[in-house]
Amino acid sequence: MMDPIGLALERYDVTGARRLWDNGARIDASGELYDGTPLRSAADLREALLRRPAPIVRTFVENLMAYALGRRLEHYDMPAVREIARAAAAADNRLSAFILGVVRTPAFRMKGGLAGESIP
């Protein structure tokens, strides 16, 4: 099973330039999302993602929080992820709302620092 998001972007190289061939074979970037939505291009992917922003926002929050905590998220982090996503939605999904949401979590505020450092 292939990642449908990655497959939809297969027609672009690492610099974003469009390509039609890979190792002499024509690229078939068609696929479908988990809900059956067909994808034939990056434009189809964009439209599908814009129709359902919640998974994108949640994934963004998870990655931002994992980066801020310096660890993988666990099941007990998920209520904070959902709360950050809700609060950011109420603030028109501004980046500052995501960042403030993460730094206000107990997980971030109580994470260990270097020896002798304290977290304000």
Residues 43 and 14 in one domain: yes
Residues 59 and 18 in one domain: no
Residue type for position 68: A
Residues 41 and 73 in one domain: no
Residues 61 and 18 in one domain: no
Residues 68 and 83 in one domain: yes
Averaged pLDDT of the chain: 87
In the predicted structure, residue 120 carries a pLDDT above the cut 80: no
Does residue 120 form part of some domain?
A: no
- Tell me the pTM: 0.68
Higher per-residue confidence, 86 vs 55? 86
Residues 56 and 98 in one domain: yes
Does residue 115 form part of some domain?
A: no
Closest CA to 56 of 92, 14, 91, 85: 85
Residues 72 and 85 in one domain: yes
Does residue 89 form part of some domain?
A: yes
b vs e for 48-77, b when ≥16 Cβ sit within 10 Å of the residue's Cβ? beeeeeeeebeebbbebbeeebeeebeeeb
Residues 89 and 61 in one domain: yes
Q: Find the domain containing 28 and state its range.
A: 4-50
In the predicted structure, residue 27 carries a pLDDT above the cut 70: yes
Instruction: Look at residue 114 in the predicted model and tell me its pLDDT.
Output: 54
**What would the mean pLDDT of 47-62 be, rounded to a whole number?**
91
Domain count, the chain: 2
Does residue 78 form part of some domain?
A: yes
Residues 102 and 62 in one domain: yes
**What would the mean pLDDT of 1-30 be, rounded to a whole number?**
82
Does residue 70 form part of some domain?
A: yes
